[in-house]
Structure formats: C-alpha cells, structure tokens
Amino acid sequence: MKCAPEIVYHKLSAIYTIKEEDYIAYYVWLKTRNCFKVLVATILSQNSTDKSALKAYLELEKKVGVTPEKLSDADLSDIENALKISGLYKTKAKRLKIISKIILEKYNGLIDNLLNSSNPREELLKFEGIGEKTADVVLLTCRGYEVFPIDTHITRVSKRLGIVPMNAKYELISSTLKELFSAYNLLQLHHLLIAHGRQTCKARKPLCNSCIIKECCEYYSHRDGEARKSNTS
C-alpha cells in the first residue's frame, strides 16, 4: 500500500456514509442490542445480500420470533417459510434450529454466557454453520472484540491496495488489517471497506479514475503504468 493507514481511513470516512440498513448485523444490533439476534442476522447474510437477508430476518421475527426458545420450539417448515427470500433458506433454517437448541441446553438460553467464556470465538466456531467471518462479525459488532471480519469486498480491496499478497487467506488479511488500523474504529473500518468494495472497487470494472484512494493503490499504479506504456508505444 502506497499510503499510511490513517490516510486511507480518513479518506474513506470522508466519502462514504454508513447506512445501518446496508449492514444487517449492525442494523439489528442498533435496533435490539441483542447478540443472539445479531448472530441470527449474520447467519442469514451468508450467501445472500444484506438487503434480502434483512427482509428474511424481519419475516422470521414476525412469523416465528428470534429467540433461542422460539426457534428451538418452532416447526422447521415455519422457519423455512419465513426465510424463503434468503439464499440457502432450508440449510439456514435447520442450522438456526440446531444452534438455538444448543444455546438453550449448554448456555441456559443466554448467548451472553457464551460470549463471556474464556474463548468466545472458539466456542462460536464449534457450531455448524458458523465460520470465521460470522463469528468475527458477532464479536466485533456486539462486544467490540479485537477481531476483523473479512468478506469478499474487503478481500478484494485489501489485495488491490497491496495490503496483503494476492494469495492471502482470511487469517492473514484479518490480522494485517487489525494491526495496521489498530488506532481506529475497527467496526467503522469494516463497514467503510465494504462500502468501497460495493460502490467503487468493484469486482468487475472498478471505478479507478474516481477512486478517492487511488494514489494509495498498487492495482491502480500498475494499471495506470500499463495504460501509459500503451499510449507511448
């Protein structure tokens, strides 16, 4: 990366407005302050857009209720019907029911008992259907733990900027961003990088010329250099 971390952070902060409804976990947290609901919302966002996941979450809340007790007791078909707008709804419905039962039985129905354990991330990763990103979203959003969730947008932006090598995996990207931006609000940075990936640093046809941090970017530098070579040849 060609700029200091603070330059990237402040430039992104200046151009992007974080709308809570565009980030389902953040939206649910601000509305409920309930970590179990945030976990459910984050699971629903897997292989789905935040927009459709939020619709599914609201339907689930309306038709079934988003508590360990209600999800555990509900017929699987009722959960599925509420989630149909979201991708992989059958798989998600089954996982939510199983997770709810385990939280009831092992943690007395209180996800806070899990989050207060000595290694909450490790405990979350024991559940089928909860991977690193889902666990980190819950821990960062609800408790402000020093973790950094990585999605496809953040992966793409990080690699193009040159923060990590092109073959970097989740753990390296997460730990590198966490270290580089340790002085800043990690949850806000998480949202800013997603916004940048969605709106500017797109997978196809990135809007490099209008990018606020193009001078920081290794990808832009290489692309611009190739363009200049073509123009002079």
Asked if residue 21 lies in contact with residue 41, where contact means CB atoms within 8 angstroms, the answer is no
Tokens of 166: 């092109």
Would you say 194 and 26 are in contact if contact means Cβ atoms under 8 Å apart? no
**Joined tokens for residue 92:** 């998600």
Catalytic residue among 73, 78, 112, 151: 151
The encoded tokens of residue 170 equal 């989740």
Catalytic annotation on 136? Answer: no
Q: Is 133 a catalytic residue?
A: yes
Q: Which of 37, 92, 133, 214 is catalytic?
A: 133
Give the rounded distance of the alpha carbon of 46 from its chain centre. Answer: 9
Nearest residue to 170 via CA among 207, 132, 206: 132
- Count Cβ atoms within 10 A of the Cβ of residue 160 and give its class: 0-12 exposed, 13-18 middle, 19 or more buried: buried
Which residues are annotated as catalytic?
133, 151
